[in-house]
Amino acid sequence: MGNEMKALITGITGFVGKYLELFLKDKADVYGTSRSNRGEKHIFKVDLLSESEIMELIETIKPTHIFHLAGLSNVKDSWEHKADFIHGNVIGTVHLLEAVRKVDDQIKVMTVGSSEEYGRIPDNLDKVSEDTRTNPVSPYGISKCAVSMLVNLYHKSYGLNTTHARPFNHIGPGQRLGFVTTDFAYQIAQINKGRTQEPIIRIGNLKSARDFTDVRDIVEAYYDIACFGKAGEAYNVCTGQGVNIQDIVEILISFSNKKINLVVDPSRIRVSDIPRLVGNPEKLFTLTGWQPKRKLEDTLIDIYDYWLKDL
Ligand code: GDD
């Protein structure tokens, strides 16, 4: 203890929160919020849907930086739970920003948005920059767009010291099921362990393309944005490389020693799916020199190994 940075991570026990905590270990005194009681001294049970709970915590801890990671993140789920996504992501952020405004408006707050804020982009646009017009096409994307607008509002109207990260797809060991790389790796690992009757994996739309970054690189970008980002600005966090989902499934299958067949599962097809979403990482690179270090194939091996061990 005794670092200059006192970091509060909302949603510290989530997939990204755990990696961010690990990364900040030697750089900051780290505290976090979770919805459940964890029995760890630095993690506090806080419901962001209660403004007074988060306000009390900020008053007690007096963080220098807040990383606002808490929220609902699964695009497909957001179609089944529209109100929960809008309510949880938007109201949780309002309460946090209100608490910061009332307690100490100079705390640096970094909020996490998403490439889903850009949503369906013009066909002739290869890579999305921060000034590309937002056009969300999922309830999740709309909730994150609202977060982005709220942060902007609090910066412009009250002078809050905010920055906003727009991560593209982030993946890694420990991500829960419901995201494409885990969904595929989990099924392939099950087949390899002899846990299925047939060597088939269920898939959704393989025709889309996304921009994948390892979660361990993502948290380094969050640190850079929180420390060096210009107040009021948004930053893409991405590689700039588009990868077809078809390629993801082929790479993962190549790690297994089995012949595997693909079966389209209609429940994995979305009401609307963005065909291609690839980001331009220039703005963050110019700010701090941040670049992803890990290769996609290495990350996919780690994810596959995680599921082999977990089974
Ligand atoms: N989840 C899933 N499962 N997706 C599949 C599957 C499957 O079995 N088969 C094909 N896909 C396709 C989806 O239709 C989509 O086009 C693509 O794979 C990626 O799906 P996800 O991994 O669920 O990610 P996402 O792009 O919808 O959203 C993720 O990235 C955003 C940033 O770009 C999430 O991590 C969001 O939280 C994040 O903000």
Q: Please tell me the pTM assigned to this model.
A: 0.97
Instruction: Indicate if the pLDDT at residue 310 is higher than 80.
Output: no
Instruction: Indicate if the pLDDT at residue 2 is higher than 80.
Output: no
Could you tell me if the CB of 186 is within 6 A of ligand 1? no
DSSP 21-74: HHHHTTTEEEEEEESS----TTEEE--TT-HHHHHHHHHHH--SEEEE--S---
**Ligand 1 atom with least separation from CA of 167:** 32
Instruction: Indicate if the pLDDT at residue 183 is higher than 80.
Output: yes
Taking the CA atoms of residue 180, residue 203, residue 196 and residue 175 in that order, the dihedral angle to the nearest 10 degrees is 10
Q: What is the pLDDT of residues 3-52, one digit of tens each?
A: 899 999 999 999 999 999 999 999 999 999 999 988 899 999 999 999 99
How confident is the model at residue 90, as a pLDDT?
98
Indicate the top mutation candidate among 69, 179, 212 to test ligand 1's pocket, ranked by most ligand atoms within 8 A of CB.
Answer: 179
Could you tell me if the CB of 270 is within 6 A of ligand 1? yes
The SS3 of residue 10 is strand
Which of 110, 21, 151, 1 lies closest to 61, judged by CA?
1
Q: What is the pLDDT of residues 232-242, one digit of tens each?
A: 999 999 999 99
How confident is the model at residue 191, as a pLDDT?
96
Strand partners, 212: 169
How many whole angstroms separate alpha carbon 166 and alpha carbon 213? 12
Average pLDDT, the chain: 97
Could you tell me if the CB of 31 is within 6 A of ligand 1? no
How confident is the model at residue 38, as a pLDDT?
82
CA of 105 to the centre of ligand 1 (A): 36
Could you tell me if the CB of 203 is within 6 A of ligand 1? yes
CA of 236 to the centre of ligand 1 (A): 17
Could you tell me if the CB of 175 is within 6 A of ligand 1? no
- The answer to whether the beta carbons of residues 304 and 225 sit under 8 Å apart is no
Could you tell me if the CB of 180 is within 6 A of ligand 1? yes
Instruction: Indicate if the pLDDT at residue 78 is higher than 90.
Output: yes
CA of 159 to the centre of ligand 1 (A): 35
Residues in the chain: 311
Other Cβ atoms closer than 10 A to 106: 9
pLDDT interval class at 311 (50, 70, 90): low
Domains and CATH numbers, the chain: 5-172+213-240+278-294 (3.40.50.720)
Instruction: Indicate if the pLDDT at residue 257 is higher than 90.
Output: no
Q: What integer is the mean pLDDT of 174-189?
A: 98
How many whole angstroms separate alpha carbon 221 and alpha carbon 110? 11
- The answer to whether the beta carbons of residues 187 and 303 sit under 8 Å apart is no
How many whole angstroms separate alpha carbon 151 and alpha carbon 134? 15
